[in-house]
A and B are shown apart, each in its own frame.
Chain A
Amino acid sequence: MTTTTLAVLVPLLPFLGAAAGLLLGRTAPGFVRPLAVLPTLTSLALAAMVAVRQGGDQAVNAATELTPTGSVPIELALHIDGFAALVAVLVGLVATCVQIYSTGYLRDDPRYPSYAALVSLFTSAMLLVVYSGDLMVLLVGWEIMGICSYFLVGHYWETPEARAASLKAFLVTKLGDVPFLIGLFALATDAGSFRITRVLGAVANGGLDHPTLIALLLLAGVAGKSAQFPLHTWLPDAMAGPTPVSALIHAATMVAAGVYFIARLLPVFEASQAAMVVLAVMSAVTMAGSALAALAQDDIKRVLAYSTIGQLGYMTGALAVGDRGAAVFHLLTHGAFKALLFLAAGVIIHAAGTNSLAAMSRMSNLRDRVPDAFWTMTVALLALAAIPPFSGFFSKESVLGAAEHVATGHTEHAPGAAGWTVLVAGLLTALLTAAYAARLWLLAFHGRGAEAPDHGRQPLTMTVVLWVLAAPSLAVGGFAYRTLPDWFDGRDLAPTLTTSVLGTGVALVGGLVTYAAWRHTTALAARVPLGAVAAHPEGDAGQVEAEAIASHKPAYGDVAYAPDPADPGRLLLGPLHRHAAVGFHLDAVYTALFVRPVQAGATLVRFLDREVVDTYVRGAGALPRLLGAAVRRAQTGNLQTYVSVLLAGTVVLVVAAVLVATGA
């Protein structure tokens, strides 16, 4: 088989698996699990073969015209360069892990068939986005991902949190997608084609008329999909979905699609200095703000969600300084260790029966209940905190190195201001990242108090994939940073001395300060009892998680926040803690700015409809009704009345006829 055939099969197989799963889900439940796992596994193997064959050489391009449109043609096109090949392998790996993990996690869930089919469909769409060489086809995959995300976030639709979160995720990402669509059309109009290769060719020849406008419009869609400030608010709420979905969609792949998209079209963005500065500021605000918020969250998955936002901020930061190699490098390592973090968090939630860190900090021995989760999560947290030699260190140093490279005057790709912004924000975030990673680790695994409940061993499917993902989290950075430049643009990704020392230093400082704060506050934990655990700890992990999410608000007063004085984050953040816990009131601002005006508008429209329009309608109905009542009154049933009227009419007619006949 040629590389092109293999590449076509990669997105096609999960799609066929999804279709078959939806068709057979009710009639043949025995086929659902193989149909979920096998196509994804096969496409992982095929993606790996494609990557090996492509090997970082010349990009593979293939195209067939889908439909002649008269102006800009839409083509089914493949464009597989090193980025696409490697990202596809990552997507296949994480998707396979998640599918295997889900067979255990949602073991007893009655909606598992549709869930698995949607995950397969999502995988197919993501692979389509990765391989597509045509922006229109890419948009199709992009939107399918959005709708799958909507359905999967709302998987536990019995809980109001999940319903609200799925709607919010859908609406916020669509808010970004509208400018994105306009931007795509503007780009295609300027470049004369939807093909990525031709667009890049047009950019290289200076063929874009409105680079800043196009870049900013595209940026809106990227901000929505990749959860960048100010459109990031849907991602923490999306944690109301099942944990495997969070791992696949809201950590490893879909949210990375925006970064990947910019990486593909980076020359378009580089054509506009303003867009690069906006991108830098956006990434800086996202990184720092989300890291602060992560430090204040009580829900373990929300900590990871804010962490995801922050790491995506690193990637956009790398793009803002014009180094897409660093961005995709971080995307790959982050995809591995963040998927691992989420899957391990799912195991912990199942074991502890709660998603609250405050409650976990009051359980001893949790780490002995789930040793696999403990060890793999430790690895992943170290990778997240960018401690050498874990993979996160290398990718994050490559980002910081690129920023420093620009900040020190090599501004051929990006403005110097962007470099400084990303560098400063990146170092600050490295400090905070280490702090919240340490807080998570300490609170979850070093709690003191009652013995953690024993729910037996976790399913094998759930623990094995943790080790599968732990390997790349541990090692891929160190092995890959020398070979990856061959696959990417050829720029060096090795850590530089200055940023390595600085980054590792601030990370160690952050971790140690958190440890000190934890030592200081942990004595309080015994004094303030807190905690609520799921009602059915013997159920499967999905049910435990749904109950944990549903009970968090009644137990602690908020989905994100717990009044826990023993929290080291509270000590570290001081007065900021209150604001950070609710995401710096951005939701309240949106409520005031958008939700209330829209609701007021809806009220006004309802008033206009009910009172004004309906008045005309009622008036139009009232006249015939009055006439009808008058005519009805004439139906007395008295024959003499009828005959009187009949004869009166006859007389009038006769007189009229006579008058006309005589010409009077």
Chain B
Amino acid sequence: MTLAAAAGFLTAATETHGFLSPTGVEIAFLLVGLVTFGAALVTVTTKQLVHAALWLVATLGGLAVEYLLLTAEFIAWVQVLIYVGSVVVLLLFGLMLTRAPIGRSPDADSGNRWAALTVAVASAAALVWVVVDAFRTTWIDLDGPAAGSTEATGASLFQNWVLPFEALSVLLLAALVGAIVLSRKTKADAAGTGPAASTGPGVLGAGDTGRDTEGAR
């Protein structure tokens, strides 16, 4: 952020909306963004797996706040409901079912860490540079009626996007069936090894997926 601000400052000094005179919304966005970014960083670096899921909650919640600041209230609520409410719970279940250790696990990162860091930093630099270069003078006018109110979104969705919406329901159905098939397969494979080891997770997988699709709807 500071990098972008500094870069913007040099070239956009003559704009009506300078980076040195931020509005209140901008300040709020900036602060929440910093929190979000920090939470994301902790998510991908922490050695405690369950903490990672919890920090993911913070990240996703921060993003929901950002959506609100961008006047997209419906998306914000959907974000809170689905991501924070269901996806993270799913992930926590997954962690537990795979017997992820609770507490610090020293081998949370693979040996690929430095290559990953290099790639991530390089792509971040490239993206930020391009984005700032392209949009340093672009201004979003947040005044007036909210662009993402439930009414506007609903009207748009059911007027213009009905067909993709229905197609999406088919996709969700396919995902549901796929998850069940995956679980069944594992059940059949593991049938010989003993009922105690196999039935529980198989039933669980199907149940998770079912719940997840319901949440998405």
Contacts and interface: CB of A to CB of B under 8 A. Distances in A.
Nearest to B116: A644
A178 interface: no
Interface stretch (B64-72, B91-99, B118-126, B188-196): B118-126
A641 interface: yes
Contact of A651 (B110, B115, B119): B119
A641 B115 contact: yes
Given A644-B116, A648-B118, A648-B119, A654 B110 contact: no
Interface string A261-279: 0000000000000000000
Nearest to B120: A647
A638 B119 contact: no
A659 to B, nearest CB: 10
Nearest to A642: B112
Nearest to A649: B119
B122 A648 contact: yes
Interface string A633-664: 00000101100110110110011001000000
Contact of B115 (A644, A650, A654, A658): A644
Given A654-B126, A658-B130, A647 B119 contact: yes
Contacts of B112: 638, 640-641, 644
B62 to A, nearest CB: 25
Q: Kindly state the interface size class of chain B when it binds its partner.
A: 10 to 19
A644 B110 contact: no
B111 to A, nearest CB: 8
Interface string A241-275: 00000000000000000000000000000000000
A152 B193 CA distance: 79
Contacts of B118: 648
A640 B126 contact: no
A658 B131 CA distance: 12
Contact of B123 (A641, A645, A647): A647
Interface residues of A, number: 12
Contacts of B123: 647, 650-651
B18 to A, nearest CB: 24
A644 B122 CA distance: 12
A644 B123 CA distance: 11
Contacts of B110: 638, 640
Interface string B106-118: 0000101001101
Nearest to B111: A638
Contacts of B116: 640, 644
Contacts of A644: 112, 115-116, 119
Nearest to A650: B123
A604 B64 CA distance: 84
A638 B110 CA distance: 10
Contacts of A638: 110, 112
Contacts of A654: 126
Contacts of A648: 115, 118-119, 122
A647 B115 CA distance: 10
Contacts of A650: 123
A638 B122 CA distance: 21
Contacts of B115: 641, 644-645, 648
Nearest to B115: A644
B16 to A, nearest CB: 26
A557 B110 CA distance: 81
Contacts of B122: 648, 651
Interface in A447-501: none
A238 B116 CA distance: 82
Nearest to A644: B115
Contacts of A645: 115
A651 B115 CA distance: 13
Nearest to B118: A648
B126 to A, nearest CB: 5
A641 B123 CA distance: 16
Contacts of A655: 126
Contacts of B126: 651, 654-655, 658
Please indicate which of the listed interface residues B110, B112, B118, B130 has the most CB atoms of chain A within 10 Å of its own CB: B112
A647 B117 CA distance: 12
A640 B112 CA distance: 7
Contacts of A640: 110, 112, 116
Nearest to B124: A651
B117 to A, nearest CB: 10
Contacts of A647: 119, 123
Interface string A361-383: 00000000000000000000000
A658 B115 CA distance: 23
Nearest to B117: A644
Please indicate which of the listed interface residues A638, A644, A654 has the most CB atoms of chain B within 10 Å of its own CB: A644
Nearest to A648: B119
A654 B119 CA distance: 13
Interface string B65-81: 00000000000000000
Nearest to A645: B115
Contacts of A658: 126, 130
A644 B117 CA distance: 9
A633 to B, nearest CB: 14
Contacts of A651: 119, 122-123, 126
Nearest to A639: B112
A644 B114 CA distance: 10
Please indicate which of the listed interface residues A645, A650, A651 has the most CB atoms of chain B within 10 Å of its own CB: A651
Nearest to A646: B119
A644 B110 CA distance: 12
B179 to A, nearest CB: 22
Contacts of B119: 644, 647-648, 651
A580 B118 CA distance: 91
A638 B116 CA distance: 13
A638 B119 CA distance: 16
A643 to B, nearest CB: 9
Interface in B18-51: none
Contacts of B130: 658
Interface string A559-602: 00000000000000000000000000000000000000000000
Interface string B170-209: 0000000000000000000000000000000000000000
A648 B122 CA distance: 8
27 contacts: A638-B110, A638-B112, A640-B110, A640-B112, A640-B116, A641-B112, A641-B115, A644-B112, A644-B115, A644-B116, A644-B119, A645-B115, A647-B119, A647-B123, A648-B115, A648-B118, A648-B119, A648-B122, A650-B123, A651-B119, A651-B122, A651-B123, A651-B126, A654-B126, A655-B126, A658-B126, A658-B130
Given A650-B123, A651-B122, 20 more contacts: A638-B110, A640-B110, A640-B112, A640-B116, A641-B115, A644-B112, A644-B115, A644-B116, A645-B115, A647-B119, A647-B123, A648-B115, A648-B118, A648-B119, A648-B122, A651-B119, A651-B123, A654-B126, A655-B126, A658-B126
Q: Which 3 A-B pairs have the closest CB atoms?
A: A644-B115, A640-B112, A651-B123
Interface of A: 638, 640-641, 644-645, 647-648, 650-651, 654-655, 658
